[in-house]
Amino acid sequence: MEQIFYSTFGLIFLAELGDKTQLTAMALALRYPWQRIFVGIAAAFALLNIAAVLVGRVLFILLPVFWVTLVSALLFLYFGVTTLRHAPDDDDDGPPPTAASAARTAFIMIFMAELGDKTQLVTASQAARHSADLGGMGMVFLSSTLALWAVSLVGIFAGKQLVRFIPLRWIHRAAGGMFLVFGGAALWKAVCLGFP
């Protein structure tokens, strides 16, 4: 269980560093109290991850482990390549958004930005790989949600400082490289499982 927690947490945390979620949290924090923003962000990620874990469970029931592992590998490789290709050239995150309610604004922005995004798909993929028992699925949900909350808090409190020292393009490159490594490992595992 610890391995599931740490691998999922690390994967999601690094993948979201410097991503639109963190930049959105940073922009919202310039305008609204951080506690209200975090409530909206936390609720959005909890809902998105519940959906992702349930989708992962359905995939596990319907598909053999070989196919789940292969699709997982291909997703990791795809996100690795696209993350590397779309790394920003500068650190401009645009003007902060406005809305009447900070929590509602944060919830809507994060929910719409992350619906079907790479981290939700990775969470579904991880849930499918570890859904032989409910404990594995619960661990994927917990680790993914905590990682996304942690990234959001980093964005709110320290994001501006981080991008002063590490350019966003390097953060994106690290995340892209990590996706490629995980994709290669999952592809190797699929090859070892063999075609059903």
d(CA 33, CA 17): 22
| 82 contacts: CB under 8 Å, gap ≥ 6 | 176
Instruction: Kindly give the parts of the chain with pLDDT less than 70.
Output: 27, 30-31, 56-57, 59-63, 65, 68, 72, 87-100, 113, 115-116, 131-133, 158-164, 168, 171-172, 175, 195-196
Residue 170 has what pLDDT?
A: 77
pTM over 0.75: no
Q: Which residues contact 63 (CB under 8 A, 6 or more apart)?
A: 71, 128
What amino acid is encoded at 112 in this protein? M
Q: How far apart are CA 87 and CA 89, in angstroms?
A: 7
Please identify which residue in the block is written with the tokens 């269980």.
1
Q: What is the pLDDT of residues 45-95, one digit of tens each?
A: 999 888 888 876 676 666 676 776 777 678 778 877 877 777 666 544 444
Which of 124-133 are b and which e, b meaning 16 or more Cβ less than 10 Å from the residue's Cβ? bbbbbbbbee
